[in-house]
Amino acid sequence: MDKPNSAKGAATPYALAVAGVLFASICFGFVPYFSRGLTDQGLAPYAVAFYRYILAAIILLPAILKYRSNWREIVWGMMAGGVMGLGWVGYVTALETVPASTVGVLYMTYPVFTIVIAWTLFGDRPTRRSIVAAGLIVVAAIIAGSPASVPPEQVPTLLVSLAAPFGFGFGICVLVHRLSRIAPLARIASVSLGSIIGLAPLILTSEVAEILPKGGSDWFLIVGIGLVTALIPQLIYTVCSPIIGATRTAVIGSIELPTMFAVGVLAFGEVITAAQAIACALVLGAIAITQSRSTRTVTTVITKEPES
């Protein structure tokens, strides 16, 4: 058991890590602004996903070369990136026709996927608080995305969009349980490279008009989606998430949802319904109940393991 002064000394890094995850998640919440702007100009959803990850993959490629001896971790990261990239196509597709707030609520089911994957694949048992919080988020998703709240023709699109929270949940688990031993830049590089490799077949078999931007404003959106919603927040997220653990990272990151609501209202003129407002409140409640004074972090476990 740690001594009291050790716990006190670790308090500041932990608090900074929580703040980092919150900031990064807010940046992720701006995805609908850039995504819908690009699909409105005729770009295919998988092209938008490709552009989101390619900037980080190119800039951080030297990190993969530097840490190539850690090939097992690199492969795990690329596998996670492939799942995330393909899953994200469903998210972008849904944003073309469904309000950002509704898609955002369903995307927030990723803590549930994270808890299940972390428990089944990595033996990371969730806390009671995390289970309760995940339950609240599921209720929120049911309220905002049920057939009673959306037109029947949009239900299949919403179901397809669940590939994104599954992919993100898997990515969180791999990040925390398999990539913590390599440098943050190498983690982001491997995930980003895996994403563009997974999306490459779709890009290579597409019409030119579906994948190439048409003007300067499109290039602005491409740089924005790659820098503001990917490279910068991913770096912060990658550094901070191992400190606070997989399930708590997933639930604290749900602050992304109110950001999506704000983007929907301010950028697209969407009107928030009562059901969506209740769903947002449930997600914020889930974030609040996960706060506690002490946490056994994944980083603590990893640093105490012998080197293989």
pLDDT digits 0-9 by tens, 116-167: 999 999 888 888 888 888 899 889 888 877 766 778 788 888 889 999 999 9
Is 111 within 8 Å of 241 (Cβ atoms)? no
Q: Is the pLDDT of residue 210 over 70?
A: yes
102: pLDDT strictly greater than 60: yes
Label residue 11 by pLDDT band (50, 70, 90).
Answer: low
Please answer whether residues 219 and 51 qualify as being in contact, where contact means their C-beta atoms are separated by less than 8 angstroms: no
Torsion, CA 80, CA 85, CA 87, CA 91, rounded to 10: 140
Q: pLDDT at residue 51 above 50?
A: yes
Contact 52, 226 (CB under 8 A): yes
| Average confidence (pLDDT) over 20-33 | 93
pLDDT at 163: 94
- When pLDDT is averaged across residues 234-250 and rounded to a whole number, the result is 80
Residues 6+ apart with CB under 8 A from 103: 32, 91, 94, 95, 158, 161, 260
- Tell me, yes or no, if the pTM score tops 0.85: no
Confidence (pLDDT) at 10: 53
Q: Which residue in this structure is represented by tokens 């552009």?
A: 51
> Residue 291 has what pLDDT?
53
User: Is the pLDDT score of 47 beyond 90?
Assistant: yes
Residues in the chain: 308
For residue 87, the number of C-alpha atoms closer than 13 Å in the C-beta half-sphere is 20
144-150's contacts with Cβ under 8 Å and 24+ in sequence apart are 144/101, 144/102, 144/105, 144/106, 144/275, 144/276, 144/278, 144/279, 145/102, 145/105, 145/106, 149/102, 149/273, 149/275, 149/276, 150/98, 150/102
pLDDT over 90 at 264, yes or no: yes
- The predicted structure's pLDDT at residue 9: 45
High-pLDDT (> 70) share of the chain, %: 88
Give the mean model confidence (pLDDT) for residues 262-270.
92
Give the pLDDT mean for 198-205.
94
Helix axes 45-59, 184-204, angle to 10 degrees: 140
**Given this model, what pLDDT does residue 305 score?**
37
